[in-house]
Structure 1
Amino acid sequence: MSFALPPLRDPHRTIGERVFDFSRQVAIMAIVNRTPDSFYDAGTNFALEDAVAAALRAVEHGADWVDIGGVPFAPGEPLSVDEEAARVVPVVQALRHKSDVVISVDTFHAEVARRSIDAGATVINDTTGLSDPELAAVVAESEASLVIVHSRAQPRTQFARPEYTDVASEVRDFLAAKVEIARAAGIPESRLFVDPGHDLNKNTLHSLELTRRLDVITALGLPTLVALSNKDFIGEVLDRPKSARLEGSIAAAVACVLSGARVVRVHEVTESVAAVRMAEAILGLRQPAVLKHNMSDANER
């Protein structure tokens, strides 16, 4: 069996101080949520010093990229732009002062994006697919990149019983249309990423199909980001709580990497780095760190 990876139109990316060749590597994006009600850590990193420490720890453990969020995707009361910015901007500033790591901010507000970029963020990760019509223009005015994520509901609203005729094709078409909006706003393709939005307005069967048919998304020719870590579709497949989904998360991430994903968004950095580096080696994108076994006249013990 061979893995035929889809070609990328512009695999060479400079994001802030970091340079990537996505035809030869996969980036690990660590998640740091500064919210009291985050999906996974339930407020562990809400204090500023804890959020900054978590971000620096992720970099130390091998993350190429840190994604900072101030508002959960889940339905709930809206948070003002000022309050959201007050959560994320200080983390961006502190992390940028200490590291050249790629910093993204998970926001759908144009003004939060503007303030975050001014503070040192190099990517905006919009999980609502450009719900704010001004956001693309804000990114275009900067040197930042943009992640366009598929979701169908208005931000922080319920979307019960989602239905798709062909989830992979419909997600692809949505992303393609949003990419054209971003390009029309002045963002070149060399600064765009796409994300099919596993679990976002999708049920477990939809998320499994997106994983199985990720090649439909990667065929767009842009680097594809997947955000799978500890999500509900993994929990439902394995009947596991959020605290026991690591193995399922890694299996899903590796499946996506073998189908062409080039950025993987994760909670557990150390384990995910090891799994993704192994997948890169299987794909022939990475040489072993050490090459000794059966490489000499005497067998190695």
Structure 2
Amino acid sequence: MRQFQNLVSSRPLVMGIINVTPDSFSDGGLFASTESALRHAAQLIEEGADLLDVGGESTRPGGTPVSVQEELHRIIPVVKALSSMNTPVSVDTSKPEVMRAAIEAGAIMINDVNALRAPGALEAIAEGGVAVCLMHMQGDPLSMQANPQYNDVVAEVKDFLRQRLNAAEAAGIPCERLVIDPGFGFGKTLSHNIELLRHLDQFMDMGVPVLVGLSRKSMLGKITGNEVGDRVHASVAAALLARAKGARILRVHDVKATRDALAVYDAVNMV
């Protein structure tokens, strides 16, 4: 299994999204079964995904939590199958029990929208020896879009992420296994999201890679007027903006479109 540190040491990564859920905002449960999820994974790998992010609980605004057992039932067969094929797998979860099971199944990274704030989460990652992405979210998925407010969204998100980095390192998780995510769309208005993207380069001095997830999100719908299924072009544009401002991991639904755009960008901008 390729380790996370080896992946991020080269070019920015494209992380393909696999939602093994019946209520995903982006694909409406198209990949809710193990078989359909694995078919989609094969497609994303063929399109050039560097790693795959597997999620078994929707974190969309208003999303309903699921039990530990249901989340394990959805994702563990997918993680085991992909890991057996030497595919780098991240698991999108906030539950320590799911983290431990995913790591045992072969995941090399945990992507936690709750930034390891659940009791036992820090210990699960410290003992599991995998990478982790710490994301900022104001509130929770059920309430996060109910009038979110900030005095200075960039400073406040950055302060939160610094606190979580410090907590992770104090728990024994080394810096080289840490990633941060400003959490676009998680307790932010359109203006907050635009401000974060505009000033994304200010997060680059925190000493860890920055992951950005903008793909198909409602902010792009508000800007373009397009429904979720027609946001590919806006998603690619947002990914390129994030890349230009220093993002090291781009979490996307449309892998080939993103990889093609990045190839052009890098050909022009890289020596």
What CA deviation, in whole Å up to 9, does each residue of 1:173-196 have, x standing for no partner? 110100111111111000000000
Structure 1 unmatched runs, 5+: 1-13, 286-301
Mapping of 1:233-244 within 5 angstroms? 233-244=219-230
What CA deviation, in whole Å up to 9, does each residue of 1:189-220 have, x standing for no partner? 00000000101100111111111100111221
Residue 250 (1) aligns with residue 216 (2) = no
What CA deviation, in whole Å up to 9, does each residue of 1:33-84 have, x standing for no partner? 0000001000000111000111121111100010000011132432111111
Assess, with a 3 A threshold, how the Cα gap between structure 1 residues 155 and 128 changes in structure 2: closer, same or farther. farther
Query: Is the 2:33–2:74 Cα contact (8 Å) retained in structure 1?
Result: no
Mapping of 1:76-87 within 5 angstroms? 76-87=63-74
Structure 2 unmatched runs, 5+: none
Distance in 2 (alpha carbons) for counterparts of 1:266 and 1:78: 23
SS in 1 for 2:7: strand
- Aligned to 1:52, which of 38, 43, 53? 38
Aligned CA-pair RMSD: 1.6
Query: Is the 2:184–2:214 Cα contact (8 Å) retained in structure 1?
Result: yes
Distance in 2 (alpha carbons) for counterparts of 1:17 and 1:153: 29
Match of 1:129 in 2: 115
What CA deviation, in whole Å up to 9, does each residue of 1:249-269 have, x standing for no partner? 111110111110000000011
Mapping of 1:203-282 within 5 angstroms? 203-282=189-268
Shift of 1:170: 0.9
What CA deviation, in whole Å up to 9, does each residue of 1:213-248 have, x standing for no partner? 001112212100000000010110011100111111
Assess, with a 3 A threshold, how the Cα gap between structure 1 residues 88 and 44 changes in structure 2: closer, same or farther. same
What CA deviation, in whole Å up to 9, does each residue of 1:152-187 have, x standing for no partner? 213544441111111111111110100111111111
- Aligned to 1:93, which of 80, 89, 93? 80
Runs of 4+ that moved beyond 3 A: 154-159
Query: Is the 2:138–2:188 Cα contact (8 Å) retained in structure 1?
Result: no
Shift of 1:96: 1.1
Which protein is richer in helix relative to its size?
2
Tell me how many residue pairs correspond in the alignment.
270
